[in-house]
Amino acid sequence: MIIATRSFSGCLFVICGVIIMLFLLVLVIQGGAWIAARILPALPTFMEIVIAFDLCILLPLALFRKTRRLSGDGLYMSSYAYGVTLWIWAFLLAYTIWGALAVIIGLFLVGIGVVPIAMLATALEGQWQNLGLLISLLILTFGARSLGLALRRNAAIPPSDSWVEEIK
């Protein structure tokens, strides 16, 4: 009888713990949505500055071998700015369209699942402009990251000195 009581109370303790954890998770998500909604108005300006910096400074620097690594590093870092913007926008879209449960499911999918959930939600709701924005940010994020890595790899290759030997 004592073992059954301990087993029942232990099970009840675990159930209460799970309920409390889910409640705290919902509070964190609602707080995150509140913070993301406050950050969202500044994101377009931030993105314009990063894109202008990439186009006007980093991409021209990629033309010269001595500055190619710097350009690659800058583009790689820019991809994080694009990725954060994508994630915040996707988080808010998923939360607004499908609620906290969709965000919880997205967070359990290694955190990045919020983006595909938001894409699915916008597609099913017919919000094509938002879906296009999410896809554009996704392409921009991985495009900048890939280009940055390619430039870094290319900068590591020493220039060919075959023309020096031809002169000798």
Confidence of residue 159 (pLDDT cuts 50, 70, 90): low
User: Would you say 118 and 137 are in contact if contact means Cβ atoms under 8 Å apart?
Assistant: no
Which tens digits make up the pLDDT trace of 94-145?
A: 999 998 888 888 888 876 789 999 999 999 999 999 999 999 999 999 999 9
Q: What is the pLDDT of residue 3?
A: 59
* Number of Cβ atoms within 10 Å of the Cβ of 4: 8
- CB proximity list for 98: less than 8 A, separation 6 or greater: 117, 121
Which tens digits make up the pLDDT trace of 60-94?
A: 999 988 899 999 999 999 999 999 999 999 999 99
User: Would you say 115 and 90 are in contact if contact means Cβ atoms under 8 Å apart?
Assistant: yes
Q: What is the pLDDT of residue 130?
A: 94
Among residues 123, 85, 92, the alpha carbon closest in space to that of 106 is found at: 92
pLDDT of 165 over the 80 cut: no
pLDDT of 46 over the 70 cut: yes
Average pLDDT value for residue range 11-31: 80
**pTM confidence score:** 0.76
